[in-house]
A = this chain, B = another copy of it.
Amino acid sequence: MTAQAGTGRINQKQRTRTAIVAAARELIGTGAEVTMPLVARAALVSEATAYRYFPDLQSLISEALAGVWPSPAEALAPVADSADPVERTAFACEFLLRGVLAREGAVRAMIAATITKPATATARPGIRFGLIDHALRPLDGTLGATDPEAFAQLKRDLAVVVSAEALFTLMDLCGLDPQTAVASAVRTATTLTQAAVRTIE
């Protein structure tokens, strides 16, 4: 094999990989169901080829999602001037859940792929944690300093509520439409943050 042929093959592989990730990203952006066969078809490759590049759906979705979500500071820019943790948390919750809805099929596929293999959950992007930390910044020097355990508990409270799992529970099991489900989770996050803030007032 000449060096040129070798480079050509590497380039070809890179193009195929890029095409698969691009197809996945486009499919994710529709909010529709995301499966390996659907991504392969959209990328014009066989399913076997897709699996050669990505051993499982979560590693593909993970790579396709990287860089799609803004940083916590960018996401919370509209409330950057607010020192009210309640307002900031409500905004963060709404932001996350609308983002989940926009990529609903991919997030559902990600949960399905990781829930039976807990060790793989680290492949999930964990967007909520950055958002929650950033939203609660105004409490770093108050509750965070005076009662670190209560602060940590508030973060755990919010990790459960500011979440795709909460959204899908409200939609699938409680039967709420997406907008009502988002509003309900925002309400719950607000109640929890208010309760924590009340302890330092």
A156 in contact with B172 given A115-B111, A116-B109, A192-B192 (CB within 8 Å): no
Within 8 A of B (CB), among A83-113: 105, 108-109, 111-113
Nearest-neighbor residue (CB-CB) of A188 within chain B:
B157
Q: Are B116 and A108 in contact (CB under 8 A)?
A: yes
**What are the residues of chain B within 8 A of A121 when measuring CB–CB?**
172-173
**What are the residues of chain B within 8 A of A185 when measuring CB–CB?**
160
| A174, CB-defined interface residue at 8 Å | yes
Q: Are A111 and B114 in contact (CB under 8 A)?
A: no
- In angstroms, Cα B161 to Cα A173, docked, is 13
A115 in contact with B112 given A169-B160, A195-B191 (CB within 8 Å): yes
Copies in the complex: 2
A192 partner, pick from B118, B170, B188, beta carbons under 8 A: B188
Within 8 A of B (CB), among A147-201: 153, 156-157, 159-161, 163, 165-166, 168-174, 176, 184-185, 187-188, 191-192, 194-195
| A140, CB-defined interface residue at 8 Å | no
- In angstroms, Cα B121 to Cα A172, docked, is 6
Q: Are A165 and B157 in contact (CB under 8 A)?
A: no
**What are the residues of chain B within 8 A of A191 when measuring CB–CB?**
157, 191-192, 195
For chain A, the count of residues having a C-beta within 8 Å of the partner chain is 40
**What are the residues of chain B within 8 A of A168 when measuring CB–CB?**
115, 118, 165
Chain A residues in the interface with B (C-beta under 8 A): 33, 105, 108-109, 111-116, 118, 121, 124, 126, 129, 153, 156-157, 159-161, 163, 165-166, 168-174, 176, 184-185, 187-188, 191-192, 194-195
Q: Which 9 A-B pairs have the closest CB atoms?
A: A121-B172, A165-B165, A160-B166, A157-B188, A118-B172, A112-B112, A156-B184, A108-B116, A112-B116
Give me 9 A-to-B residue pairs in the complex whose CB atoms sit less than 8 angstroms apart, sorted by A's number: A112-B115, A115-B115, A118-B172, A156-B187, A157-B187, A159-B169, A163-B169, A165-B165, A166-B166
